[in-house]
């Protein structure tokens, strides 16, 4: 039930905003040896930006390419494929999904048509086969037309993972896949390329903007961030925002935001203080400069307030 509520609340990240950023250019940038990424815009999904609001990346090996996440529309995924081909003639062997939110998965069908096998965590199957996922897609066909249309479909994984950690070796390159959910979602995966020190973290980390929290289990999310910090990566590719070459600081910022939400809203819930009063008096100064603060923060705080009523101590 909680998973379904999380996905329904995720609708807001795709709703058109009164003001949206200019459409970002989809261009692959090399960030480490054999590792490339494309960066979506810090905006809400809209027809103007083609739902290009999340990041994706790829790892070039001696025997094919491994893509991480599929972007927010089939057209974007085709552009991502064109960027892969600009870098290497190697075929795309695998697509690893960090999680099944719409802005990361609607490009899957284009990657699958190119011959890629899809890898995801088995915890995503409940949502993927739910009415909530079908309703989200139907709404996107209207809200994000023409980029999401009647031909856009939800795509199942070819390989569902259920272990805490899985190692994939492609062309001699080791890729470690670790399950860190439930956190942002039940199925959160981190993808680590040890030879490059590069860590893809999906929406466990939002860099340069306020995270979307919804009804995620923020206590476990914080624990997952602690586990990511223990990797001591050279760089982190977040689900949103630029690559971090000071990853510990950026991991810590997301962690601190979640801790702040839990502490302030937890104290208010424990004291049975009305939410509106608690929100108004809370000091948000450390985070209010971040993009999408006005869009996301109040909802994040309210859902955390409700969560803390149930969980009690932060």
**CATH number assigned to the domain comprising residue 242:** 3.60.15.10
Q: How far is CA 83 from the centre of its chain?
A: 21
> Residue 290 domain-assigned?
no
The CA R_g of the chain, rounded to the nearest whole Å, is 19
pLDDT of residue 1: 41
> Residue 73 domain-assigned?
yes
> Residue 175 domain-assigned?
yes
Joined tokens for residue 6: 């999380």
Q: Residue 48 sits in which domain range? A: 2-247
Q: Are 89 and 116 in contact (CB under 8 A)?
A: no
pLDDT of residue 11: 39
pLDDT of residue 13: 40
Q: Is the peptide bond before 292 cis (omega within 30 degrees of 0)?
A: no
pLDDT of residue 313: 62
Give, for all 314 residues of the chain, the pLDDT tens digit: 444 444 444 433 443 333 344 578 899 999 999 999 999 998 889 999 999 999 999 999 999 999 999 999 999 999 999 999 999 999 999 999 999 999 999 999 999 999 999 999 999 999 999 999 999 999 999 999 999 999 999 999 999 999 999 999 999 999 999 999 999 999 999 999 999 999 999 999 888 788 888 778 889 999 999 888 887 888 999 999 999 998 888 888 889 999 999 999 999 999 999 999 999 999 999 999 988 899 899 999 999 999 998 876 65
> Residue 239 domain-assigned?
yes
Category of 122 on φ-ψ map: left (φ > 0), alpha (ψ -120 to 50) or beta: alpha
pLDDT of residue 212: 86
> Residue 277 domain-assigned?
no
Instruction: Count up the domains in the chain and report the number.
Output: 1
Q: Are 249 and 232 in contact (CB under 8 A)?
A: no
pLDDT of residue 253: 85
Closest CA to 56 of 191, 227, 250: 191
Task: Give the CA distances from residue 93 to residues 68, 115, 241, 288, in Å, rounded to whole numbers and listed in that order.
Answer: 11, 7, 26, 41
Joined tokens for residue 46: 């809209």
> Residue 27 domain-assigned?
yes
């Amino acid at each position: 039930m909680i998973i379904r509520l999380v996905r329904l609340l995720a609708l807001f990240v795709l709703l058109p905003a009164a003001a949206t950023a200019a459409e970002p250019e989809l261009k692959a940038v090399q960030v480490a040896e054999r590792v490339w990424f494309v960066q979506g815009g810090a905006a809400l999904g809209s027809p103007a930006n083609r739902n290009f609001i999340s990041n994706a990346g790829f790892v070039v090996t001696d025997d094919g390419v491994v893509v991480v996440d599929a972007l927010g529309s089939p057209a974007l995924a085709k552009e991502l494929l064109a960027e892969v081909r600009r870098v290497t003639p190697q075929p795309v062997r695998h697509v690893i999904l960090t999680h099944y939110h719409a802005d990361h998965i609607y490009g899957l069908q284009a990657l699958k048509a190119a011959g890629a096998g899809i890898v995801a965590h088995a915890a995503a199957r409940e949502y993927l086969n739910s009415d909530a996922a079908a309703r989200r897609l139907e709404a996107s066909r209207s809200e994000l037309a023409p980029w999401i249309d009647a031909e856009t479909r939800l795509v199942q994984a070819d390989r569902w993972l259920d272990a805490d950690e899985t190692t994939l070796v492609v062309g001699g390159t080791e890729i470690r896949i670790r399950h860190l959910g439930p956190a942002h979602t039940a199925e959160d995966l981190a993808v680590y390329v040890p030879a490059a020190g590069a860590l893809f973290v999906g929406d466990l980390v939002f860099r340069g903007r306020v995270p979307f929290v919804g009804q995620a289990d923020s206590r476990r999310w914080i624990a997952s961030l602690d586990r990511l910090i223990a990797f001591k990566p050279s760089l982190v590719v977040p689900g949103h925002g630029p690559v971090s070459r000071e990853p510990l600081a950026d991991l810590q910022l997301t962690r601190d935001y979640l801790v702040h939400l839990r502490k302030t809203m937890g104290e208010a819930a424990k004291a049975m203080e009305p939410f509106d009063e608690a929100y108004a008096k809370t000091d948000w100064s450390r985070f209010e400069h971040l993009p999408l603060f006005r869009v996301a923060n109040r909802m994040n705080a309210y859902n955390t307030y409700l969560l803390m009523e149930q969980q009690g101590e932060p």
